[in-house]
């Protein structure tokens, strides 16, 4: 078995606005997806996922679209995860030239699905890395990030930014603007996550922002203002000024709220974190439900969130310096 893991991420700044060419700053966190692969004698792909926040589930692909099993829609998140793996293995076949290779794939993930923590990117990065290594090829992080981006692009019908996959492959804090992705120096941030147990519909939320932007000039201005917040955030990050980072995260959340992508549970968690004394808090990712990210070096925010109605899980997450990790 060849096993790789890759981290999830939070957006410190800039989700949604990044779709319109503004910069964004995601940051990898020590919450990981692990993918193990074993080469098969045939060209089939068998995916087993134990803990993707759903019951253990196994699906077997016959190798083409027609061979796909009929799966209950309630399993749609896991089906999505399986589609990501399917497409990731296509990249493995493409890189290695082994077009007929099949794998048994096992996924274990500590990252809630579809909740703004980059679960799909982590699974894709780890799957491509493990799959290529199983065939004797080790990819550089930049190539791995590019292949993972292509995978997300394919599965999401062209609606993907490079942020999640680059961040997961390389680790650390990164700056993304269009096709340009680079690593940033970042202090050890006191990150606390609150999770409402739900997930947002990324496509719908992105479409909602697009609609507002087309209808109202002030919505377009709001998107540009997010870009200004991000540029200020980069300076605060470089200066290691965590208090300023928190203030700017609060500002960023307000702008995302104005763009209609927050939710009652996300707002409730954001306010619980602020009331507990966090430097700042905002939703992370597409929004609509899922996770918030707060900065608090004390235990107060984590404790407060764990007593907040609508918050299903609260935990501290270290910044992940390391992106993809080669386990065996
Ligand atoms: O929820 P996530 O982690 O998939 O992030 C979505 C981020 C958006 O900016 C809303 C969309 C994108 O592709 O950048």
Query: Could you write out the DSSP letters of every residue in 53-112?
Result: SS--EEEEE-SSGGGPPP--GGGHHHHHHHHHHHHHHHHHHHHH--TT--EEEEEEE-SP
Whether 188 sits among the annotated catalytic residues: the reply is no
- Residues 62 and 103 both lie in one domain: yes
Find tokens 């196994």 and name the residue.
Answer: 58
From the CA of 230, how far away is ligand 1's center (Å)? Answer: 15
- Residues 158 and 129 both lie in one domain: yes
Ligand 1 pocket, mutate which of 175, 285, 287, 289 (most atoms under 8 A from CB): 285
- Does the complex come out with an ipTM higher than 0.85? yes
From the CA of 78, how far away is ligand 1's center (Å)? Answer: 19
C-alpha distance from residue 53 to each of 15, 175, 272 (Å): 24, 30, 25
Q: Whose CA is nearest to atom 14 of ligand 1?
A: 161
* Inter-residue contact 237 to 11 (CB < 8 Å): no
Domain boundary among 136, 167, 185: 185
- Residues 226 and 98 both lie in one domain: no
Domain boundary among 136, 170, 185: 185
Whether residue 324 lies inside any domain: the answer is: no
Active-site option among 110, 164, 196, 296: 164
Domain boundary among 131, 154, 185: 185
Q: Whose CA is nearest to atom 5 of ligand 1?
A: 285
From the CA of 202, how far away is ligand 1's center (Å)? Answer: 7
Structure token digits, residue 23 = 């910069």
CATH number, domain of 78, equals 3.30.230.10
Structure token digits, residue 135 = 């065939």
Q: 278 lies in which domain range?
A: 191-317
Ligand 1 pocket, mutate which of 9, 26, 159, 163 (most atoms under 8 A from CB): 163
Supply the pTM of this predicted model. 0.90
- The number of distinct structural domains making up the chain is 2
Residues flanking ligand 1, CB < 6 Å: 15-16, 18-19, 116, 118, 160-161, 163-164, 202, 206, 285-286
- Residues 160 and 72 both lie in one domain: yes
- Residues 214 and 135 both lie in one domain: no
- Annotation: binding site for ATP: 112-122
- Residues 213 and 279 both lie in one domain: yes
Whether residue 322 lies inside any domain: the answer is: no
Find tokens 């619980």 and name the residue.
Answer: 272
Cα gap 140→146, rounded to integer Å: 10
pLDDT per residue, tens digit, the chain (328 aa), is 999 999 999 999 999 999 999 999 999 999 999 999 999 999 999 888 765 543 344 454 443 344 444 333 335 556 677 889 999 999 999 999 999 999 999 999 899 888 889 999 999 999 999 999 999 999 999 999 999 999 999 988 887 889 999 999 999 999 999 999 999 999 999 999 999 999 888 889 999 999 999 999 999 999 999 999 999 999 999 999 999 999 999 999 999 999 999 999 999 999 999 999 999 999 999 999 999 999 999 999 999 999 999 999 999 999 999 999 999 9
- Residues 156 and 204 both lie in one domain: no
* Inter-residue contact 295 to 27 (CB < 8 Å): no
- Residues 230 and 312 both lie in one domain: yes
- Residues 179 and 203 both lie in one domain: no
Contacting residues for 229 by C-beta, under 8 A, at least 6 apart: 13, 14, 248, 251, 252, 255
Q: Determine the atom of ligand 1 nearest the C-alpha atom of 118.
A: 3
Whether residue 97 lies inside any domain: the answer is: yes
Q: Determine the atom of ligand 1 nearest the C-alpha atom of 164.
A: 3
- Residues 117 and 167 both lie in one domain: yes
Whether residue 310 lies inside any domain: the answer is: yes
- Residues 115 and 9 both lie in one domain: yes
CATH number, domain of 282, equals 3.30.70.890
- Residues 181 and 39 both lie in one domain: yes
């Amino acid at each position: 078995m060849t096993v790789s893991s890759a981290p999830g991420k939070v957006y410190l700044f800039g989700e949604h606005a990044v779709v319109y060419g503004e910069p964004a700053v995601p940051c990898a966190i020590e919450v990981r997806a692990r993918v193990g692969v074993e080469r098969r004698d045939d060209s089939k792909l068998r995916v087993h996922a134990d803990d993707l926040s759903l019951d253990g589930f196994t699906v077997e692909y016959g190798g083409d679209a027609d061979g796909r099993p009929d799966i209950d829609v309630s399993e749609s998140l896991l089906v999505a995860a399986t589609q990501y793996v399917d497409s990731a293995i296509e990249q493995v076949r493409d890189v290695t030239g082994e077009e007929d290779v099949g794998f048994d794939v096992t996924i274990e993930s500590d990252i809630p699905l579809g909740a703004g923590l980059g679960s799909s990117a982590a699974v894709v990065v780890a799957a491509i890395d493990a799959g290529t290594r199983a065939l004797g090829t080790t990819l550089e992080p930049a190539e791995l990030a590019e292949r993972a981006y292509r995978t997300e692009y394919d599965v999401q019908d062209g609606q993907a930014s490079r942020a999640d996959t680059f961040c997961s492959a390389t680790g650390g804090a990164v700056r993304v603007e269009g096709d340009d992705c680079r690593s940033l120096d970042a202090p050890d941030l006191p990150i606390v996550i609150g999770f409402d147990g739900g997930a947002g519909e990324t496509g719908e939320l992105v479409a909602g922002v697009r609609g507002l932007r087309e209808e109202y000039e002030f919505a377009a201005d709001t998107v540009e203002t997010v870009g200004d917040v991000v540029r200020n955030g980069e300076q605060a990050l470089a200066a290691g000024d965590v208090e300023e980072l928190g203030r700017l995260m609060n500002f960023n959340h307000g702008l995302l709220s104005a763009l209609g992508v927050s939710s009652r549970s996300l707002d409730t968690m954001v306010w619980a974190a602020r009331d507990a004394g966090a430097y700042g808090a905002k939703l992370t990712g597409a929004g609509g439900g899922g996770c918030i990210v707060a900065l608090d070096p004390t235990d107060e925010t984590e404790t407060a969130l764990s007593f907040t109605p609508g918050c299903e899980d609260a935990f501290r997450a270290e910044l992940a310096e390391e992106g993809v990790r080669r386990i065996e």
